[in-house]
Amino acid sequence: MYQLTGAGARAVMVAAQGLHERPGRPADKQDVRQAIRRMGALQIDTIHVVARSPYLVLWSRLGDYEPRWLDELLSEGALFEYWSHAACLLPIEDYPLYRRLMLDRRKGYSSSPAWLAAHAADVEQLLEHVRARDGGVRAADFQRSGGRSQGWWDWKHEKLILEHLHNIGVLMTARRHNFQRVYDLRERVHPGWDDRDAPPYEHVAAALGLQAVRALGICTARWLPDYFRLRRCRPEALLASLEAGGELARAQVTDWNDQEVWFHRDHLPLVEAAVAGALEPRHTTLLSPFDPLVWDRSRTKTVFDFDYRLESYTPAARRAYGYFSLPILHRGELVGRLDPKVYRSERRFEVRALHLEPRVAVTADLVAGVAGALRACARWHKATAITVSWANRPGLAAEIEQALQ
């Protein structure tokens, strides 16, 4: 059995996510598609103090790229939207797996069937409207009536119907317009699909479990279900089955009390390099709070010794780090976080606060790496000025601003 240090395990995980080195060439549209395949899922979130999360996750891996490529891949059918780790953009090659989940939700694995049945007349009226529209509908096309909704996020009644129909796969996201979903009939968005081709759930769990291990690089039984939110799987049995089939191999992480972990056979070269001490992440970048590397906060604490939570929903007076703090990844370590803000009309990128972890020493290499990441992120946002307003180490803000010159 392979023996990994904690640093070696981190290096494998960072490399598996495509975050170990700066891209060697400018990205193209197919790189966007390949990055999503590598992660398995790209979580969607609407917060917009910098680029919205799905675009930022891709930038962390690809550097400068055109955000419109992501929108085009969705509208062209190379991607689709559905529930995975959360609401996600997913490779169209995985549609059969998720179609099984959609069909199962029609059978009672969600609240949607009962809710739709209770509003059958309104549902049919809305579906008739969708059928008659060439190009789909948005929730914004409907006016709120009857006061405030009691449903999800105070959504209007039509939005609730659209979402429930999306949940069971009657509707799909055809594209996004100003980041709003455009819903259309499944048979228009993904024509030619036959539900008889949907695999059984056991196949889905095995396929997504295998994808989760490959995406993570190193995986424990506890981490496996969270990656794609596989609520109906037994992770120990699934890992054992995939190992018996030759898809996975085992290792131990000495710094984690000899924790037993699994890795995908495709990552054997990474694991062997890590064991030999030859896998050295060199990249410094900023991560979205919804990046797959950190979206499981418990895993982030175990792997990186980094306590992290998103404070967007915390009252301002109780925030420790800022509204939308971004973890700083430097050479395979999470060394701190910063609270950014892009002022688009002024073309200015501000770091309102930068917090290094207490264990992290300020070095010339660290300052250069953080400054380089800020410069690259600001350039991608088309910002020409960068300010660092405050840092938790004396003189650090000035050092970074000096390195930015």
Per residue in 351-376, pLDDT (tens digit) is 999 999 999 999 999 999 999 999 99
pTM equals 0.95
pLDDT at 149 over 90: no
In the chain, what's the furthest Cα-to-Cα distance? 66
The number of beta carbons lying within 10 Å of the beta carbon of residue 151 is 15
Query: Could you give the dihedral angle defined by the CA atoms of residues 203, 104, 172 and 183, in that order, rounded to the nearest 10 degrees?
Result: -160
Give the C-alpha separation, 23 to 283, whole Å: 9
Asked which of 151-160, 165-174, 192-201, 216-225 is least confident by mean pLDDT, the reply is: 151-160
Per residue in 193-225, pLDDT (tens digit) is 999 999 999 999 999 999 999 999 999 999 999
Query: Could you give the dihedral angle defined by the CA atoms of residues 331, 6, 339 and 345, in that order, rounded to the nearest 10 degrees?
Result: 40
Q: List beta partners, residue 221.
A: none
| Three-class secondary structure of residue 350 per DSSP | strand
- Owner of token pair 């598609």: 33
What pLDDT is stored for residue 155 in this prediction? 72
Tokens in use for 15? 């490399």
- The model's confidence at residue 143, banded by pLDDT at 50, 70 and 90, is confident
The number of beta carbons lying within 10 Å of the beta carbon of residue 395 is 10
Residue 404 burial by Cβ neighbours in a 10 Å radius (0-12, 13-18, 19+): middle
The number of beta carbons lying within 10 Å of the beta carbon of residue 129 is 13
What pLDDT is stored for residue 108 in this prediction? 83
Give the C-alpha separation, 239 to 226, whole Å: 14
Asked which of 113-117, 149-153, 186-190 is least confident by mean pLDDT, the reply is: 149-153
pLDDT (mean) for 264-286? 98
